[in-house]
Amino acid sequence: MTVFNVFLFIISIVVLIYIVKTVNSDAFFINYAFQWLVAGIITLIAAVKPQWIFKLSDLAGFETPMNFILFICIIFLSYQIIGLISIVSVQNKKITKLVQEVSLLKKKMEDD
């Protein structure tokens, strides 16, 4: 193992421990943490056996493994952003409905 692989292995372990701790403390929901756990496990495997990254990048037609990793990161983060935007949209609709209901109740109380 190279120094970079050891560093990547340690960082992956620290990130996985952090995610598990935040899930256990109810600061992070398990359904959101699952994707990050999978990403951490894949990074951990890549640190131990980096050869499969080279093989996958060759199969996918990328010139260098770094381009492949960057592409995968962009796809992963785009998926995360789309999911968060959908959650924000639903919450925005709920807040709008709640404000309307409170306004109607307030007006009704003032009229009585």
pLDDT digits (tens, 9 = 90+) for 35-50: 888 888 888 888 888 8
Q: What is the pLDDT of residues 52-95, one digit of tens each?
A: 889 999 999 999 988 999 999 999 999 889 988 999 999 999 99
Of 30 and 85, more confident: 85
Contacts of 40 (CB under 8 A, 6+ apart): 12, 15, 16, 19
First to last CA, the chain: 77
How much is the pLDDT for 37?
Answer: 86
